[in-house]
Each structure stands twice: as structure tokens, then as C-alpha cells.
């Protein structure tokens, strides 16, 4: 019975995603194009200035721009969708029809998480599989089917889905899309950058505890920190635990708290 309710909620979310939805003509294209175009531009510039094979890309550094841009762009799709339920007051109708409020964020995570994971996988494969053929002198060392490559193909989508869950959890706590995106980006590019300037062992410890740094290390991306959690998988689990705790807290707040709409 519960599975039936969840399936209905998922179908409801899919119905909302018509081809007119901005997800398809802004979020998804930008999430693919921005990392691809940045890497293309860097590769062309490096190719023009390379000397004796200098400036080559390594497999474990090939998804940097996906992690920096695509993941947060994809997060914005789920964030906008959940926050719009409050802004348009459709959340009141949804909860009137289905009293199990937790189904709304869970269904959105299933739908937007799947889209996010697929887009992240496609983008990662485009870089790992396509760029070594387009720029063999620069990307020739990159191998999609090496140990590092396979880890990236598996874990970059997982990382992106976890960020989607993080965004949905924050949206349930404070349903304002601009605020949610600002908080996430402020932590990633503000707090985690700031702690790099903290001197000595305290600064190193803070860096090694930074959630996003651990997430990036966990997917197999080259990192400037050493893990505190027993390896790459441990770091990814640490990041995942933080994201899922926030998602669960947001879902619980939505399930038991008052629904505020504007």
C-alpha cells in the first residue's frame, strides 16, 4: 500500500515535468555544456601552448568542472521545484490529497535524483570517453575504463544525487530557492575556502572535515586533503551521511510542522 502511494507521488512529479519545464531547456543543458565547454576551452589553449607533452590531463582530475558547476546547477532543479510548491500554494492541495507529507520530498528526490544521476553520468562519460579522442595529446592519459575512470563514472552521479538530496532537505526547512542555493554555495566556496587560511594543525583538521572536500575526494577526484575516514569510500560516506541527515530533518519538519506558504 505504501509503495502504491509512493508510486503515485512519483508519477505526479513526472507529470509536472512537461517539456515546457525549464529543467529541460536550461538546467540540464547548462549542466552538460558548462563543464564540457570549459574543458574544451582549456584543452584548446593547452594544445596551442603545449611543449613536449606538457599540460596533460590525468583521469583523477578530469571531472573537476562537473563537481564545481554541474552538480549545483542540477541541484537547483529540485530546489526550485519544491520551493515552487510553497510559493504557488500547491503544497496545500498536495497535502490535502495525500496526508503523508513525507512523500512529497521523497518523490522529488527519486525523480530529480534520477535525472541528476543520469545527466552527471552522461557528462562524465562525455569527458572521459570523448575528450581523449578529440585531444589525444592532452587527454591521452585519461581512461574511462581504468580504475580511476570507473570510480568517477560510478561516484560522480552518486555525489550529484547527494547534493540534490541536500538541496531538497534545505528547501523543506526554508522554502526559498535563492536562500537555499546561497547557503550551499556560501558553505562550499566561502566556509570551506576560508578554513584553508586557518594556520597550523587546526586548519588542516578543519579542511579534512570539510564535507564537500571529502565528497570530491570520495568520488576519486584529485584532492588537496588526506581522508580521515579510512579512504575514498569513507570520505564519500561521510559526505553522504551529512546530506542525508539534512534531507531527513527537512522531510520530518515538512511531515510534522506547519505548512507556510506565501
Q: What is the pLDDT of residues 207-247, one digit of tens each?
A: 999 999 999 999 999 988 899 999 999 999 999 999 999 99
In this structure, is residue 137 part of a structural domain? yes
**Distance from C-alpha of 186 to C-alpha of 194, rounded to nearest angstrom:** 10
The tally of domains found in the chain comes to: 1
In this structure, is residue 50 part of a structural domain? no
More confident residue, 174 or 19: 174
Give the domain extent around 142.
Answer: 2-43+55-256
Residue 123 has a pLDDT of 98
Q: What share of the chain is helix, strand, coil (3-state, %, to 5)?
A: 80, 0, 20
In this structure, is residue 62 part of a structural domain? yes
Residue 262 has a pLDDT of 45
In this structure, is residue 10 part of a structural domain? yes
In this structure, is residue 49 part of a structural domain? no
In this structure, is residue 48 part of a structural domain? no
In this structure, is residue 109 part of a structural domain? yes
Q: What is the dihedral of CA 10, 11, 12, 13, to 10 degrees?
A: 50
Helices 232-256 and 147-173 cross at an angle (nearest 10°) of: 20
In this structure, is residue 261 part of a structural domain? no
Amino acid at each position: 500500500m505504501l509503495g502504491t502511494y509512493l508510486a503515485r507521488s512519483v508519477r505526479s512529479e513526472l507529470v509536472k515535468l512537461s517539456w515546457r519545464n525549464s529543467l529541460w531547456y536550461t538546467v540540464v543543458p547548462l549542466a552538460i555544456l558548462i563543464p564540457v565547454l570549459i574543458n574544451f576551452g582549456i584543452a584548446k589553449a593547452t594544445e596551442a601552448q603545449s611543449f613536449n607533452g606538457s599540460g596533460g590531463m590525468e583521469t583523477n582530475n578530469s571531472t573537476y568542472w562537473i563537481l564545481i558547476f554541474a552538480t549545483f546547477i542540477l541541484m537547483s532543479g529540485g530546489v526550485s521545484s519544491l520551493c515552487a510548491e510553497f510559493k504557488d500554494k500547491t503544497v496545500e492541495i498536495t497535502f490535502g490529497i495525500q496526508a503523508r507529507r513525507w512523500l512529497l520530498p521523497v518523490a522529488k528526490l527519486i525523480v530529480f535524483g534520477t535525472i541528476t544521476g543520469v545527466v552527471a553520468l552522461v557528462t562524465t562519460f562525455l569527458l572521459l570517453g570523448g575528450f581523449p579522442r578529440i585531444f589525444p595529446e592532452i587527454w591521452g592519459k585519461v581512461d574511462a575504463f581504468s580504475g580511476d575512470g570507473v570510480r568517477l563514472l560510478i561516484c560522480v552521479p552518486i555525489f550529484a544525487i547527494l547534493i540534490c538530496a541536500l538541496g531538497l532537505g534545505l528547501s523543506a526547512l526554508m522554502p526559498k530557492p535563492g536562500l537555499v542555493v546561497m547557503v550551499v554555495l556560501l558553505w562550499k566556496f566561502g566556509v570551506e575556502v576560508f578554513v584553508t587560511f586557518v594556520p597550523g594543525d587546526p586548519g588542516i583538521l578543519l579542511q579534512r572535515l570539510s564535507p564537500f572536500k571529502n565528497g570530491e575526494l570520495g568520488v576519486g577526484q584529485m584532492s588537496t586533503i588526506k581522508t580521515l575516514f579510512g579512504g575514498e569510500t569513507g570520505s564519500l560516506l561521510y559526505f553522504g551521511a551529512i546530506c542525508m541527515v539534512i534531507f531527513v530533518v527537512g522531510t520530518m519538519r515538512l511531515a510534522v510542522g506547519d505548512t507556510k506558504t506565501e
